[in-house]
Amino acid sequence: MKVKLLCGVFAFALLAVCPNTGQTSVDFCSNAKTTAIYFVNGVWNTVDQAEMGRVALVKAYAETLKTIYPDQVFEFKLAYNYHVDKVRDVIEVIGQKIVEINAPQVSRTSPEVYFAMYMSLRNVQLLFPPEAQPIILTIEEFLAARITAEVNSSALIQKYETDLLEGKRVLLVAHSQGNMFANDAMAALSNEFPQSIGMIGVASPAKLLYGDSTYYTAHDDRVINALRALFPVLDSNVDNDPGIFGDHRDFSNHQFIESYFSSKLVSRRLIDEDLASRIVDMVFPYTYLGSGAITVTLTWGAEPDVDLHIFEPDGNHVYYWNMTGSFGYLDLDDVTGFGPEHYYVPCGSDGLGTYQVGVNYYRGYGPETAQIQISTSDGKTRTFIQDLSESHGSAGDSRPYIVAFIDVSLDADGKRVYVVRQ
């Protein structure tokens, strides 16, 4: 009979799971207490733009935290929300407004330029011709409406939960629609980890808070004010106006770096003080799971049992009946629904070659969906969704469905390179 097993946690090193770009040197093989600080991006951010928010946090806090807490590790990560990167949608709406206005002095400028001007120039209102002023309101109303779009936070929640189970504190710094994603995570995890996960919301469109959360929204944030006219939103609570001659915020007073994180703004001081206080007060959770060069986490729905299977480069098959492999360990197996199941390869122990990641729907009574998240020590995380039509019991152990492959090789400098692929 298959039984639930939780192996003892091995004393192997923690590894950062985020790129080291813009970050001070981190000992990825340190067994020090670790805090994962995530920047959760808002609307209309490309990956590069969202990365700028993460780098801003690194530049502001990494050296100071390293000096004050030399025995701790601080990882600065990006929780990127891919589905909000839809600039083409607002461009289309601006184009429709240009046609509606039907004026030569308006149509001589493209929708793309209007949007770029709005998002980047403080004096955009002066640069727009009078007839084009309705475009400003159109952009703000559209941004506000898109912020409230339904979000799917499951992959991010899975990542935060894995961090917490690996003994890391988790602090979310969320901007704009990122607050909606972060709120979902707080609602899902704060009851189980009330002192180990926290959230600082910036330019928040949310209507409520969960757990240990705070927020800072400027009174003159034009996007949130436009949203407030349409939906219930938390009250603004920051006077961020530095005056006419010292105001270098973007025109919307909404962007993270320009309008909230500039050192000259009240909001920056409040965020600094809040983060410093949380670093002092947050509690490191108990370490249930190991972490390392490779980690694989499996979750699913309410059906009783989906199993994680790993075929290591030497052919060793790691699963519930063989939880110790040649390179890694299955240190958590779940048979009561939802998961997680967790496999990791300790730092420095990852063998070269290809790891195959598979799942077997062991026991259940209807269709199920598995979510598999793979993180490597180069800072990359990929999430895979696999629909499972029916359970196969132990007969499926020898032929699990292969969801992904992890190729481990060496570069010219002898450093490990990880490629995660389907």
What pLDDT does 238 receive?
Answer: 98
Contacts of 103 (CB under 8 A, 6+ apart): 129, 131, 132
What pLDDT does 122 receive?
Answer: 57
Range of the domain at 142: 12-289
* Backbone phi, psi, residue 381, to 5°: -135, 130
392 and 268 share a domain? no
Residue 154 in domain:
yes
DSSP 139-157: HHHHHHHHHTS----HHHH
410 and 356 share a domain? yes
What pLDDT does 21 receive?
Answer: 44
Question: How many structural domains is the chain composed of?
Answer: 2
61 and 159 share a domain? yes
What pLDDT does 110 receive?
Answer: 86
User: Would you state the structure tokens that stand for residue 295, as one six-digit string?
Assistant: 């980690």
What pLDDT does 276 receive?
Answer: 98
Give me the average pLDDT of each 10-residue run along the chain (422 residues): 33 30 49 92 77 96 97 92 62 82 86 77 68 82 67 84 95 93 93 97 92 96 85 93 83 90 96 98 94 92 95 97 96 87 89 96 95 88 93 95 96 92 94
Q: Is 365 exposed, middle or buried (0-12, 13-18, 19+ CB in 10 A)?
A: exposed
Which helix (H) or strand (E) segment holds residue 361: the answer is: strand 353-363
Residue 249 in domain:
yes
CATH label of the domain that carries residue 301: 2.60.120
326 and 269 share a domain? no
* Contact (Cβ atoms closer than 8 angstroms) between residue 307 and residue 397: yes
d(CA 229, CA 216): 19
34 and 104 share a domain? yes
Residue 251 in domain:
yes
d(CA 368, CA 390): 8
User: Would you state the structure tokens that stand for residue 216, as one six-digit string?
Assistant: 């800072």
151 and 106 share a domain? yes
> Of 245, 270, 289, which residue sits at a domain end?
289
User: Would you state the structure tokens that stand for residue 403, as one six-digit string?
Assistant: 């969801």
